Amino acid sequence: MQWCQGIWLFCFVLAASLLGYYSLTVFFCHYQKVENHTSINSLGQISNTQYDISALDSKISNIEMKLAAAKAEQQSLLRGDIASGNLKRKYFMVIGINTAFSSRKRRDSVRTTWMPQGEARKKLEKEKGIVIRFVIGHSSTAGGILDKAIEAEEMVHGDFLRLEHVEGYLELSAKTKTYFSTAVALWDADFYIKVDDDVHVNLATLGTILAGHRKKRRVYVGCMKSGPVLSKRGVKYYEPEYWKFGEAGNRYFRHATGQLYAISKDLATYISENQHILHKYVNEDVSLGSWFIGLDVEHVDDKRICCGTPPDCEWKAQLGSVCAASFDWKCSGICRSVERMVEVHRTCGEDVNALEHASF
């Protein structure tokens, strides 16, 4: 708060200083007109002008002194924030694992495989700047049994990010907006990632991929696709607003598949600042892609983010191309992930020391 007040005072004094110089310029223009068109009482007017100029000089000097004082206070506040550790620390990536009230077993399968637990997770945040949280909102009945179950789970694991959002499958686009807006407000990171709770992730490989795009301000990373716009009611991924995409049989604009994607800080900030006017399509991945249309955004299509489960990710790892994420396309995640997550992790997981030795 002191930092914000210091900046405000600095801007106020600067504006006042500019206003003072502007007033002085207008005064001299007026004085020139008087000199050219009036000969009577010119000596008296000149005398008054000299007095006014002297007064303005005094005001300007006072403003400059206040400006210098504001700068000094600003620097003092900055030094105090650094000394007290109040400045927001920088993180590398924030990973939000999208989950639901009914997915306790899925969360446990992730916890026992690719998501570090307890002190290991805290160490990951501190040393590598990687934050991982399960992302969930609230039930339609605030404080009900579903919310209490999540609160009890949070007491044990401490790995949830609760959103101001009412859960529901048709509300995934709204949840995505709320997630990015909340995450960018809590953590100052280079990248913000959304992944589903039935997807296997190799953290070191994912980090290495994203580190290669770290200098890009507006980047959107994932497995880019352009699927058909489905206009038949009742089918999976039906698009109620199909008419917006032209004639029947048309395809969507290019966008990242929803199992896992990453966006840079500038894009997460854009979503946060414009969340109330960004249109929500029924399919969350389509919505995200639509929000970047018309923006100067680099789309990165990296197939290491959408490998299949064994044997696909297995033979790719044997060839030296470890996958960042693995799932089954036919299930939009790992089929029977609760039973198979351990198998996928054992077969396609990166070396146990990969994350510790990784440098991002």
Tokens 């946060």 correspond to what residue? 272
Q: How would residue 61 be classed by pLDDT, with cut points 50, 70 and 90?
A: low
Q: How would residue 152 be classed by pLDDT, with cut points 50, 70 and 90?
A: very high
Report the C-alpha gap between 333 and 9 in whole angstroms. Answer: 53
Among 41-45, 73-77, 132-136, 277-281, the least confident range: 73-77
Q: How would residue 60 be classed by pLDDT, with cut points 50, 70 and 90?
A: low
Q: Which residues contact 293 (CB under 8 A, 6 or more apart)?
A: 253
Q: What is the average pLDDT across 229-244?
A: 89
Cβ-contact 245, 294 below 8 angstroms = no
Nearest alpha carbon to residue 89 among 34, 128, 140:
128
Kindly list the structural domains of the chain, giving each domain's residue range(s) and its CATH number in brackets, ordered by start: 91-223+257-357 (3.90.550.10)
Cβ-contact 327, 259 below 8 angstroms = yes
* Helix (H/G/I), strand (E/B), else coil: 276: coil
Q: How would residue 74 be classed by pLDDT, with cut points 50, 70 and 90?
A: very low
Report the C-alpha gap between 195 and 29 in whole angstroms. Answer: 65
For the stretch 213-252, what's the b/e string if a residue is b when 16 or more beta carbons lie within 10 angstroms of its beta carbon? beeeeebbbbbbbeeebebeeeeeeebeebeebeeeeeeb
This prediction has a pTM of 0.75
Report the C-alpha gap between 64 and 42 in whole angstroms. Answer: 32
